[in-house]
Structure 1
Amino acid sequence: MDLSDRTVLVAGGTSGIGRELARRFAAAGSTVAVGGRSPQALAELAAEGFGTVSVDVTDSASVAAARDTVLARYPELDTVVITSGVMLLEDLRDPAHFEAAATTIDTNLLGTIRVVDAFTPHLIQRGAGTFVTVTSGIAFLPFPPMPGYAASKAAVHAYSEALRAQLDGTGVGVVELVPPAVATAGQEKVNPHALPLDDFATEVMHLLAQDPTPHEILVQGVLAHRWAERDGTYDDLVAQRSQALAMLPGRQG
C-alpha cells in the first residue's frame, strides 16, 4: 500500500491506536480525516490540521450522516480505518454482565459493520480502495476477564475474512490489523508488557507499506497470540491468562 497519497478516514481516531495511526498516515503524506465522539478530542485534532467529523458507530443515523459529510469533503476517499472499540470487564457468574456484553458487541462488531456498510458502495463505485478493520490478539487467544471483547474481536476477524471474499474482484481490499496489548489509555499500568504505542505504530506502518499489503497486519508482539493453536501453546497460555480473573471485583478478597 502506497501510504504517501491516500485519502483516509479513521473512524474512532480520537484516541489511542486510531489517533496515532491518523498521525502516521498524515506524516506519510496522506490526507486524513478523523471521526469520533469526543468534541474536545476532535477540536484538538482539527487544530493539528486534520479534517474531523462527529460519529457514534453505535448509531446508524450518526454513521450515515458522517459518511455524507466525509464524502462531500473528500470525494476521493479511498481508505477507511475502523478503530472504534471498547474493552470492558465481565464476570459471567453475575447476570448483570450482559449490559457490558451488549455494549461491547454493539460497538466493536456492529459498529464495524455499520461503518463498512456505509462506505462500501462508494469504494466499489471507485473501483479501488481499502477497508482496515481492527481486531486483537485476544480474538485468537481469549483474555478470560473480557469475554465479550474476545468474542467481538473474533467476530470482526471472521467478518473481515468474509468481506474480503465478497469484495474480491471489485478493487476493494480488506486488511485486518491485529494488535497485541498496546500501551494506550493507561494500559501500560495494567499490563507492564504492553507494547509502546510508538513502536507498535512504526511496525504497523512498515507492514502496511508492503506490496502487496498483507491481509493481516501482525506485529511481532502478537504472533504468539495469533498462532497459539497452531503452535500447541493455546491451552497453557489460556490457563496463564485465566489467573487475571482475580482482577474481577466479584473474585477479590
Structure 2
Amino acid sequence: MDISGNTIFIPGATSGIGLALAHALKERGNTVIVGGRRTELLERIAAEGLETVRIDTTDADSVQTAAKDVLARFPATNVLITMAGVMRVEDWHRPESFLESAEGIVTTNILGPIRLIAAFVEHFQTRPDATIMTVSSGLAFAPLKVTPSYNASKAAIHMLSESLRLQLADTSVKVVELEPPSVQTDLLPGQAENDHAMPLDEYVAEVMNIIETQPDAHEIQVERVKFLRYAEARGDYEQVVAALNASDPH
C-alpha cells in the first residue's frame, strides 16, 4: 500500500485507532472517508476536515447503501480499512451470560468485514492499485481468557485475510492485515488508562512508518505485537499465554 495519493474508506473510525489513523493518512496526502453510526460524531469529524458517511456494519442494507454513496461521491476509492469492531468480556460458564454478546461480536467483527469486502471488491478490481486492509489483533494468535469471542473473531479475520490474498493474487487488489496489540483506546472499559497498553499516538506513528517503509508488507505488525504473533513459532506459546493472562486487569 502506498502511503499517499489514495482515496480511503474507513468504516468504524469515529474513535480510537480508526480515527487516529484517518487523521494520519489525511496528513500524508490521502482523501479519507470515515464511516460510523452516530451522526453527532460524524458531524464533529467532518468539521475536522475528514469526509464522512453514515454506516452500520451490523446491518447488511446499511453497508450496501453506504458503499453506493462512497463510490458515487468518491469513485477513485481504492483502499478499504475494515476498522469497525467490538470487544467484550464474557463468562462462558453460563450461556445466558455470553450468548448475546458472542453473537453480536461475530456480526460486527466477522460479518461486517465480509459485507464490506463484498461491497467493494468488484470496484477495486477496476482500479490500477487497490488495497483491502483487514484488522485482526495480537489476540488472534494468543488468547486473552476473558474475551473468547473477540479472540475467535480476530483469528477468523486472520485466516480470511490469508485466503483472500491468495484468491486475489491475480488482480490489482492487495490484501493487508493490520494486527494491533493492546492499545490505549476505549475498546474495553479502562483500557485507555491501562499501562500495559501501547499509547495510541505511538502505535499510529509506528504503523505509518511501516506503511511507508514496507509498502509490500502483508501484515502490519508493530514490534510490541510480535510477542503474541510469533509465540507458537518461537516455541514459547504456553509462556506467552500465561504472561498475557497474568497481566490482564480483569
What range describes the TM-score normalised by the shorter chain of this pair?
over 0.9
Match for residue 113 of structure 1? Answer: 114
The Cα offsets for residues 168-212 of structure 1, whole Å up to 9 and x where unpaired, read as 1211000000000000124133x3111000000000011111354
- The number of residue pairs the alignment matches comes to 246
Give the secondary-structure state (helix, strand or coil) at the position aligned to 2:125: helix
Q: Which runs of 5+ in 1 are unaligned?
A: 248-253
1:187 and 2:200 correspond: no
Q: Report the TM-score when normalising by structure 2.
A: 0.95
Structure 1 CA distance, aligned partners of 2:227 and 2:181?
9
- Secondary structure of the 1:168 match is helix
1:127 is displaced (CA, Å) by 4.0
Deviations 1:209-238 (A, max 9, x none): 135420000001101000011112211222
Residue in structure 2 matched with residue 63 of structure 1 by the alignment: 63
CA RMSD of aligned residues (A): 1.4
Q: TM-score, normalised by structure 1?
A: 0.93
Q: 1:212 to 1:245 in 2, by over 3 A?
A: closer
Q: Which residue of 2 aligns with 1:21?
A: 21
- Contact 1:145 / 1:244 at 8 angstroms: preserved in 2? no
In 1, the alpha carbon distance for the partners of 2:168 and 2:201 equals: 32
Bigger mean CA offset, 139-148 vs 211-220? 211-220
Give CA deviations for 1:118-171 in whole Å, capped at 9, x if unaligned.
Answer: 100100122420011000000001101000000000000000111111111211
How far apart are 1:38 and its partner, in Å? 1.5
The 1:246–1:45 alpha-carbon spacing in structure 2 relative to 1, beyond 3 Å, is closer
Q: 1:246 to 1:30 in 2, by over 3 A?
A: closer
How far, CA to CA, are the matches of 1:201 and 1:168 in structure 2? 28
1:126 partner SS? coil
SS of corresponding position for 1:183: coil
Cα distance between partner residues in 2 of 1:212 and 1:142:
29
- Greater shift in the superposed pair: 119-128 or 105-114: 119-128
SS in 2 for 1:108: helix
Identity level (%):
45
> Hey, what does 1:144 align to over in structure 2?
145
Report if aligned partners of 2:13, 2:36 keep a CA contact under 8 Å in 1. yes
Judge conservation of contact 2:227–2:240 (CA < 8 Å) in 1.
no
**What amino acid is the match of 1:209?**
E
Indicate conservation of the 8 Å contact 2:179/2:220, yes or no.
yes
Q: Which residue of structure 1 aligns with residue 134 of structure 2?
A: 133
**Aligned mates of 2:69, 2:197 — CA distance in 1:** 36
Q: 1:92-136, CA deviations, whole angstroms, 9 ceiling, x for partnerless residues?
A: 101121111111111001111111111001001224200110000
What residue number does 2:90 align with? 90
Q: 1:64-90 CA distances to partner (integer Å, 9 max, x unpaired)?
A: 000000001100001011110000011
**2:174 maps to amino acid:** G
1:7 aligns with 2:10: no
Is residue 2–residue 215 contact of structure 2 (8 Å, CA) maintained in 1? no
Kindly state the Cα deviation for residue 58 of structure 1 after the two structures are TM-superposed: 0.8
- Cα pair distance change 1:143/1:170, threshold 3 Å: same
Equivalence for 1:44: 44
Q: Which amino acid is the alignment partner of residue 5 of structure 1?
A: G
Residue number in structure 2 paired with 1:250: none
Query: 1:170-181 counterparts in 2 under 5 A?
Result: 170-181=171-182
Residue in 2 that maps onto 1:33 = 33
